[in-house]
Chains A and B, each alone.
Chain A
Amino acid sequence: MTPVRFHHVLRSEWTKLRSLRSTVCTLLAAGVLAIGLSVLFANGAGRRLDAQGGFDPTAVSLQSFILVQLAISVLGVLVVTSEYGTGMIRTSLTAVPRRGRLLAAKALVFGAVALVCGQVVAFTSFLVGQAILNRTGLRDAALGEPGVLRAVIGCGLYLAMIGLLGVAVGVLTRTTAGAIMIRWRPLCSSRCSHPLCPSHGPNRWARSVRSARAPRSCPWCRNRACSRRGPDSACCACGSSASWALPPWSSSAGTHDGEARSDGLGTARGHEPAVRCRPECTCRT
């Protein structure tokens, strides 16, 4: 009798993933979000930001990751919690009694799927965004330019990582609702300065929270007076959970450009409406 090998479990996990409608729906939603938001950003935000200088066409086209990461992290959570929720885990563990092997196969298969989808999302967003920037007569970026390819690939890697974190939280909590709460909280904290972030609902509330906050030191050099410190250090993308995952491409996202040297939180506290907390920000704090 041929014993069960790891590749058997991998194939089983792949079958599990592709045989659920929710997987396909979530990935489609991620794709639609990515392309749709890239179109919106390139059309709207791009034009306004270009007038202010400090415009980074790569960053503009990759902004969609902010909502796409929510979809990917939900899928990561569901890969595990749907088994616990339905009781399928008991059947799965009877078939593959070695827990570690089952979890490894799950993480590996989902990680691969998330990586491929992340890259597809990143490249599609980038290309769609650049096409629109080009059509509207704005400066666009090509993959060959310095740092651009790295930024796009990094965006896809980041999405895969966020998906795997979803799997991890799913394993720890075993409940969909709990895991999604834990997962989304750091992705969208009230400190977020991105105009798309759901935490911005009541704008005034968000502003008052921000103005009450003490200035934070720069996450890179730990210096409070560092000029690189901006709201990006505590935003959707780089706040708590993601700051370590982002540096490779965040540097291309326009934060550290010469023109962007405004002390984001400081100006927010100072209520100087003419100065923006960061170049592409539209929140007018």
Chain B
Amino acid sequence: MIEVRNLSKRYGSTVAVDDLSFTVPPGVVTGFLGPNGAGKTTTMRLITGLDAPTRGTALIGGRRYRELAAPMREVGALLDAGAVHGGRTARDHLLCLARSNGIGTARVHEALLLVGLESVARRRVRTFSLGMRQRLGIAAALLGDPGVLIFDEPINGLDPEGVRWMRELMRRLAAEGRTVLVSSHLISEMALTADHLIVIGRGRLIADSPVETFLRDQEGGMVLVRTPDTDSFVGVLESAGATVRRAAGGLLQVSGMDALGIGTLAAASGVVLSELTPKRASLEDAFIRLTDGGVEYVAGEAAAR
């Protein structure tokens, strides 16, 4: 369980994190979403004690990171896959970390197996690709078998197979009852992995809700309907309170009613449906609309709009 209370971080005149409060519960994957420069990494650095907050607190299991008795056995963090000495072998890197928290050598081997790096364990990290470093960082995070996991952009640099592996790993870790906080600027990725979303922009909290709720709140779900009896069914739908828009090719865009309601109506009125497709609002759209005011760096064209 991670609790962030009124957290603020100021660098000179720049406010990186502005009065942020949220809770990351165990057992689910919590996505931490925001455009570049929104303060995601800063927040994670504040949680792991790498930076001191200007105001507020970040607690893990009720204590601040620096007060943890054995940090690596309580929190596993992957903040920057590049934060490794390139001259060390993968195994030695993990061994240094394991020793510092009294973790056994056997666990180093297990962690390397878990991320699939056992064959390159004795190679120097300097020769690793970005994806391999990312896996090494994940191995370091999992070394102490911690109950809380914090990943900053973990899928960066991973190949498609790696991305799928990462997704499954996060879901598995959450299913084991751990607290998993994953940051990303890729909304589509979060839609596939996360159960809960925390969205920030310019250091401020924009949304904190389950993915489903987030989508429903942002846009009433729309259902695409196709039927031979277009005209009569539009009347039925409208009289039942739905809003219907006719699209090209006899397609109906129905909002204000879910797919089950439309199906029930069709069955009751004896209308044959050839298509009934619930269409979720694009997470991207919702995200952009939400963070519009919260984008730190906007491309010229967008800014001129």
Which residues on A are within 8 Å of B, measured CB to CB? Answer: 1-5, 8-9, 11-12, 15-16, 19-22, 82-83, 86-98
The answer to whether A19 and B95 have CB atoms under 8 Å apart is: yes
Nearest Cβ on chain A to B298's Cβ, whole angstroms: 29
Q: List CB contacts (< 8 Å) of B43-82 with chain A.
A: 48-50, 65-66, 68-74, 77, 79-80, 82
Residue of B nearest to A85 (CB): B85
Asked whether B156 is an interface residue with its Cβ less than 8 Å from the other chain, the reply is no
Measured between beta carbons, the chain B residues less than 8 angstroms from A16 are 85, 88, 96
A254 to chain B: closest CB distance in Å? 42
Q: Are A86 and B66 in contact (CB under 8 A)?
A: no
Assembled-state Cα–Cα distance A21/B74 (Å): 32
B residues less than 8 Å from A15 (CB atoms)? 92, 95-96, 99
Q: State whether B85 touches A20 (Cβ < 8 A).
A: yes
B residues less than 8 Å from A89 (CB atoms): 83
Given A15-B92, A97-B65, does the pair A8, B83 have CB atoms closer than 8 Å? no
B87 and A20: CB pair below 8 A? yes
- Contact between A2 and B102 (Cβ–Cβ < 8 Å)? yes
- Whether B87 pairs with A22 at a CB distance below 8 angstroms is yes
Flag if B85 contacts A88 (CB, 8 Å).
yes
Q: State which of B65, B69, B82, B92 has its C-beta within 8 Å of the C-beta of A19.
A: B92
Report the Cα distance A87→B99, complex, angstroms: 19
- Residues of chain B contacted by A21 (CB below 8 angstroms): 87
B86 at the interface (CB under 8 A from A): yes
Partner of A86 from the list B74, B85, B96, B97 (CB cut-off 8 Å) is B85
B99 with A94: CB separation less than 8 A: no
User: Given known contacts A8-B99, A15-B95, A97-B65, is B87 in contact with A3 (CB within 8 Å)?
Assistant: no
**C-alpha spacing A1/B82, complex, angstroms:** 30
In the complex, the answer to whether A87 meets B80 with C-beta atoms within 8 Å is yes
B-side contacts of A4, CB under 8 Å = 69-71, 100-102
A2 / chain B contacts, CB cutoff of 8 Å:
69-70, 102
Report Cα–Cα, A4/B144, bound state, in Å.
12
Bound complex: CA of A166 vs CA of B46, how far in Å? 31
Min CB gap A113→B, angstroms: 16
> Would A91 and B83 count as touching, CB distance under 8 A?
yes
